Amino acid sequence: AFRWGELIEMVPRTLGRELRKLGYFLPRAIGLLILSFIPVVNLIAAPLWLLFGVWMMAIQYIDYPADNNKMSWQDMLAWLREKRWQSLGFGGITYAALLVPGLNILMMPAAVAGATVFWVRERQEQTLTSTS
């Protein structure tokens, strides 16, 4: 059942979470931007930008189910790092699909749903392996 009080409590938490994402993104993006202007070093900037974009897609979309389950920002990052290859796979598919005009409109809600499925399956698998 929907409760207004719950929604009102969620707003500051969600805004804080988005500011955390921005605080995570900006220093890294600025560092990559600076690398892009340094001759010779800038050769590795493009692949690093791509990898960073893929990682940020994983963070962006996994954050929704993590926040809904009240997992802290640091715990979510640790969980994503623990599942680095799965996270990068999810982020990479999302990143690639968001580059396709037209498909990108449909991809955003699909990525939220996909992140939720990823979250549930990986958490369930983690629970099963830790109990056996």
Q: What residue numbers bound the domain in which 127 lies?
A: 4-131
Does residue 92 contact residue 105 with C-beta atoms inside 8 Å?
no
Residue 132 pLDDT = 64
Residue 128 pLDDT = 75
Structure tokens at 117: 């499925």
Residue 37 pLDDT = 95
Helix/strand/coil for 2: coil
> CA–CA separation, 118 vs 68, rounded Å?
14
> CA–CA separation, 77 vs 130, rounded Å?
20
Residue 125 pLDDT = 80
Domain total of the chain: 1
pLDDT tens series, the chain, 132 aa: 778 888 888 888 889 999 999 999 999 999 999 999 999 999 999 999 999 999 999 999 999 999 988 899 999 999 999 999 999 999 999 999 999 999 999 999 999 999 999 999 998 887 777 776
